[in-house]
Structure 1
Amino acid sequence: MAAKRVSDEPAFVLHRYDWSESSLILEVFTRHRGRVALAARGAKKPTSNFRPVLLPLQPLRVTYTLGAEGNAEIHTLKGAEWAGGHVMPMADALLSGLYLNELLLRLLARDDPYAALFDVYAGVVRVLAGTQGETLEPVLRAFELILLRELGLLPSLAEETMTLSALSARSRYMLVPEGGLRQAAAGERAALTGAQWQALEQALGAGHAPQAYTAALRAAAPVALALKSQLRTLLQYHCGNPLLRTRQLMMDLQNL
């Protein structure tokens, strides 16, 4: 029986591993099939057409065949073309993009499609490619919120998680792993007011993920720094050990 073929699939390379002296295993985020693993035979050869194409943070169109009647862990890459649109992000924007790739790699199960999340990710990568010194914090915080919500890992931001009580607009609250949204203790400087959490919840409910991302970006901008530690702690909790490599690299660079 001929292997089933997936053609012209929008995709981004999240990560690549050496498979042999001449070949690679790719972890790829596709629009219609989610995260898939592809064997790129001969991709490391100097004459391979894959060499200049299989790069992270670049929009691709890939063609591959499904092995073992679609049940194989790793499929076979047959073709890949750059879809165009933007160049590679640079400097801090590049590191931020690799951070997003690591989140997707750690949190997305294989063969579980998230088309709306793919569209948000593609839009964020375009923003990163065009960034020249602007602050990236709101861009990253909005994506983290959308990612957590799409995966069902973000509680309602309009009420206390344990009591289901509506938030008081002026009271301060913290988002913590397992405990969800709770009242802040004295000295917890990263806490947001109830009104700020409610604005984020309203933004996340503003239609499908791409529309919600735009609204979340606006809502996150004034509180991006306060959100940073809370969202990253929550994401690391769901990613498990070890520490995200890109986060460790960011911390190492800040300590230089």
Structure 2
Amino acid sequence: MAARRVADEPAYILHRYDWSESSLILETFTRHYGRVALVAKGAKKPTSNFRPVLLALQPLRLAWVVSGGHGDIHPLRGAEWAGGHVMPTGDALLAGLYLNELLLRLLAREDPHAELFDLYAGVVQVLSNLHGDALEPVLRAFELLLLHAVGLLPALDVESTSLQPLQPEQRYILVAEGGLRSAQASERSSFSGAQWLALQQALADAPGQAAYPALLRASAPVAVPLKAQLRALLQYHCGAPLLRTRQLMIDLQSL
């Protein structure tokens, strides 16, 4: 297979880990190629031009050479900061790293999701200006759209087992193994069929990034009860072990 060069590709770094004493393996999320693994040779050297650039939650333009098959690790040839916003801090930084881990665990290698990339880029920019409770609707809307994009979100306008339409006044709950079902009186994280229908309508009205503003509005009133349900569904599909960023958040809250 002839070598092919990719240049000036919009990208974010999801994760990086040591490959040798001087080099790094990068798990990146790119707009046109999806999740791509790259090796940055010499990136850990003090004199490397890569060293100050290869940071998570920062918009980059990357270049690499494709010399192998699908899913291989490709050599990085160039990296530039694209600018646009400062690094998130505090709980917003943890939220951004959490989104990175979700993408790393749920996206297949080299499976393009251009609309999801654009959405992620917008959310990362928002995170640089948000903290505290304001983060919750932002995260819930992204979780919903991510699950929807990879085909793991059940329809939110019918009960999953019976396919019966939701009744606006009744209460329902989303469970990882069984989808959406009627809630028991003791299940406090449930909410009304009308609110589930509003989420489904926001997803259906416009695909991808265009759905985000409507989904943000629809998820804001139910951000707290929706959190546990979506986290359970995400963990179910991510499998073991527990999401590291989620465990870190739990540990910090217990201090």
Give the TM-score category using the shorter length: over 0.9
2:45 is aligned to 45
Residue 65 of structure 1 aligns to a residue whose secondary structure is strand
TM-score by length of 1: 0.97
One-letter code aligned to 2:38: L
One-letter code aligned to 2:95: S
Contact 2:71 2:109 (C-alpha < 8 Å) held by counterparts: no
Bigger mean CA deviation after superposition, 82-91 or 2-11: 2-11
Q: What value does the CA root-mean-square deviation take over the aligned residues?
A: 1.1
Moved segments of 4+, more than 6 Å: none
Unaligned 5+ segments in structure 2 are none
One-letter code aligned to 1:210: Q
2:227 is aligned to 228
2:178 is aligned to 179
In the TM superposition, what is the alpha-carbon distance from 1:73 to its structure 2 partner? 1.4
Determine the C-alpha separation between the residues in 1 that align with 2:102 and 2:59.
18
1:15 is aligned to 15
Bigger mean CA deviation after superposition, 231-240 or 178-187: 178-187
2:147 is aligned to 148
In the TM superposition, what is the alpha-carbon distance from 1:215 to its structure 2 partner? 1.0
Determine the C-alpha separation between the residues in 1 that align with 2:246 and 2:88.
18
In the TM superposition, what is the alpha-carbon distance from 1:192 to its structure 2 partner? 1.3
2:193 is aligned to 194
In the TM superposition, what is the alpha-carbon distance from 1:72 to its structure 2 partner? 5.5
Unaligned 5+ segments in structure 1 are none
Name the count of aligned residue pairs.
255
Residue 168 of structure 1 aligns to a residue whose secondary structure is coil
2:243 is aligned to 244
In the TM superposition, what is the alpha-carbon distance from 1:149 to its structure 2 partner? 0.4
Determine the C-alpha separation between the residues in 2 that align with 1:202 and 1:249.
34
Determine the C-alpha separation between the residues in 2 that align with 1:47 and 1:5.
25
2:212 is aligned to 213
Residue 134 of structure 2 aligns to a residue whose secondary structure is coil
In the TM superposition, what is the alpha-carbon distance from 1:134 to its structure 2 partner? 5.5
Determine the C-alpha separation between the residues in 1 that align with 2:147 and 2:70.
28
Determine the C-alpha separation between the residues in 1 that align with 2:107 and 2:2.
29
1:163 is aligned to 162
2:122 is aligned to 123
- What does the per-residue CA deviation read over 1:158-180, in whole Å, with 9 as the maximum and x for residues that have no partner? 11111110111110001111311
2:253 is aligned to 254
One-letter code aligned to 2:171: R
In the TM superposition, what is the alpha-carbon distance from 1:234 to its structure 2 partner? 0.2
In the TM superposition, what is the alpha-carbon distance from 1:206 to its structure 2 partner? 2.1
One-letter code aligned to 1:116: E
- What does the per-residue CA deviation read over 1:39-76, in whole Å, with 9 as the maximum and x for residues that have no partner? 000000000011110000000000000122x4461001
In the TM superposition, what is the alpha-carbon distance from 1:132 to its structure 2 partner? 4.6
Bigger mean CA deviation after superposition, 11-20 or 72-81: 72-81
Contact 2:2 2:67 (C-alpha < 8 Å) held by counterparts: no
Contact 2:17 2:24 (C-alpha < 8 Å) held by counterparts: yes
Contact 2:176 2:236 (C-alpha < 8 Å) held by counterparts: yes
1:3 is aligned to 3
1:83 is aligned to 82
Determine the C-alpha separation between the residues in 2 that align with 1:45 and 1:134.
40
Bigger mean CA deviation after superposition, 1-10 or 207-216: 1-10
Bigger mean CA deviation after superposition, 133-142 or 157-166: 133-142
One-letter code aligned to 2:42: G
Contact 1:66 1:72 (C-alpha < 8 Å) held by counterparts: no
Determine the C-alpha separation between the residues in 1 that align with 2:112 and 2:209.
16
Residue 174 of structure 1 aligns to a residue whose secondary structure is strand
Determine the C-alpha separation between the residues in 2 that align with 1:72 and 1:131.
35
After superposition, the Cα gap between the structure-2 partners of 1:132 and 1:244, relative to the gap in structure 1 and judged at 3 Å, is: closer
